[in-house]
Structure 1
Amino acid sequence: MRTFFVTGTDTSVGKTICSRAIIQVLQEMGTQIVGFKPIACGQDEPVYADSLDDPKNDYGDEDNRDVLVLQNSTKENVSYRDINSYTFLQTVPMITAEKGRIKLDKIDQDLARLTATYDAVAVEGSFGWLSPMNERFTFGDWVAKHKMPVIVAVGIKEGCINHALLTVQSIENMGLPVLGWIANRINPGLGHYAEIIDLLSSRIAAPLLGCIPYIHKPETQDVGKFLTNVEQLRHIQALLAK
């Protein structure tokens, strides 16, 4: 297993921050890992160029923030184009997908090149688990085709319990293992935060990898330290080495 997929319970729940955390912690454990976001859509949030000024960042005004964060998260020398197949300014990928502009063969080739070069690849989806990639395939279909295990990013907010349980159920119904889930606090004012985590932990069989608190500019910080389930992280690392 050289790849795993990071999906989210919705859009804007912190998939990229969770991917950054996983990349950071596995790197500290000795794994040569990069991120890969095959389809990037929209540019609703600013790119903090002052904090993403690594020389390897060859980005322009139309480059996607999520891809830039993944690029900045790895210690490997990868370009924007190495870890992204398609970037669109639209925020709704279905519009482009229905026009047939997204070719899965290209995405497959880009992924194969990365897996041939690095120990592991964290593949980050766009929007949710069943969002379409093209006119025929959802992200879930494509992940099932590649038999990737999945890590679920759960943005802790109103409605997240239902979204999380439905997402995990769909993944498992497609015959894929859930390696774990990450709680990402995206609403600092949400009440009953601890109770929500406890309830999700009791309903999701996969282990909780950690809880990322609400922090300023998490894309510039060490968020890997918040993934504290060392036993499961070592298990994931061992699977990646097979």
Structure 2
Amino acid sequence: MSARFACFVTGTDTGVGKSLVSAALLHLLVEGGLGAVGMKPVAAGAVLVDGRLINDDVEQLAAAGNLSLPAALRAPYILEAAAAPHIAAAREGVTISMEHLLDCYHQLAASAETVVVEGVGGFCVPLSDVADTADLAQQLGLPVILVVGMRLGCLSHALLTAEAIRTRGLHLAGWVANLIEPDMDYLPENIAALVERLRAPLLGELPALGPQPSAAHASSYLNAGLVTGWPLEKNTTR
């Protein structure tokens, strides 16, 4: 078995809503009657609870999926320091292996109909001295969904990220506008500028949803059918 659909979710920066969008996509896939799992290859920023490192992004993805697959595959590297992965890993004596990340993904893809892989930080964040998140995305070869944090400066960030994605030979499957600056001036004009220039479908516009938005709520603003290429109908038989 191999995944029918998988994607790589990246963002214009850290804190722009990648985890929320990833969880929302998982929610839609589950509602569509599919076995779905989220993967966070590298998670930086965790607290130790009962001898286990807990990361909010990893927990959010786990809650949105519907398959009980090993945590060691879903989140191969959880680092305690809330810093760039290569810095956090060096501080903790951890070596992030690209081969291990790819192996974990392929094991998930062999056990799930759909896999949503969430990157860390922006698209080119370093993972080690020799690799970054863009290298991981390129090795996975998955269609990419770009989360754009809508705020002043987002146009350049989004266009540069899209250029980097295409330079790696990857397909930009679509993008999501996430309003992280609720009072952003000229929001419609900024979205229109990106629609014209990104050359990828706008999959949804997320308004400001409060401090702890749910995946279900966020999913109501997305159209996953545009990503997968086939409609997702709610299925109550699973």
Deviation at 1:144, TM superposition (A): 1.1
Deviation at 1:60, TM superposition (A): 6.6
Equivalent residue for 2:13, pick from 10, 13, 17: 10
Superposition map of 1:1-242 within 5 A:
2-43=5-46, 62-78=53-69, 80-92=71-83, 93-97=85-89, 101-216=95-210, 217-219=212-214, 221-228=216-223, 230=225, 232-235=226-229
Deviation at 1:213, TM superposition (A): 1.2
Q: How many pairs are equivalent? A: 224
Work out whether residues 41 and 101 of structure 2, in 8 Å CA contact, stay in contact via their aligned partners in 1.
yes
Structure 2 residue identity aligned to 1:226: Y
Work out whether residues 44 and 88 of structure 2, in 8 Å CA contact, stay in contact via their aligned partners in 1.
no
Work out whether residues 3 and 121 of structure 1, in 8 Å CA contact, stay in contact via their aligned partners in 2.
yes
Work out whether residues 100 and 135 of structure 1, in 8 Å CA contact, stay in contact via their aligned partners in 2.
no
Please, which runs of 5 or more residues in structure 2 have no aligned partner?
233-238
Distance between the aligned counterparts of 1:83 and 1:8, measured in 2? 19
Deviation at 1:83, TM superposition (A): 1.1
- Change beyond 3 A, Cα 1:162–1:34: same
Give TM-score, length-normalised by structure 1: 0.84
Please, which runs of 5 or more residues in structure 1 have no aligned partner?
45-57
Indicate the SS of the match to 2:125.
Answer: coil
Distance between the aligned counterparts of 2:192 and 2:217, measured in 1? 25
Distance between the aligned counterparts of 1:59 and 1:9, measured in 2? 34
Deviation at 1:100, TM superposition (A): 6.1
Higher deviation after alignment, 150-159 or 85-94: 85-94
Work out whether residues 26 and 237 of structure 1, in 8 Å CA contact, stay in contact via their aligned partners in 2.
no
Give TM-score, length-normalised by structure 2: 0.85
- Change beyond 3 A, Cα 1:100–1:79: closer
Deviation at 1:116, TM superposition (A): 0.6
Higher deviation after alignment, 4-13 or 188-197: 188-197
Q: What CA RMSD, in Å, does the superposition of the two structures yield over aligned residues?
A: 2.4
Work out whether residues 23 and 34 of structure 1, in 8 Å CA contact, stay in contact via their aligned partners in 2.
yes
Deviation at 1:94, TM superposition (A): 2.3
Q: Percent identity?
A: 33
Deviation at 1:199, TM superposition (A): 1.1
Distance between the aligned counterparts of 2:145 and 2:221, measured in 1? 15
Deviation at 1:62, TM superposition (A): 3.1
Structure 1 residue identity aligned to 2:54: D
How big is each residue's C-alpha offset from its partner over 1:98-127, in whole Å with a ceiling of 9 and x where there is no partner? 666112222122111100100121111101
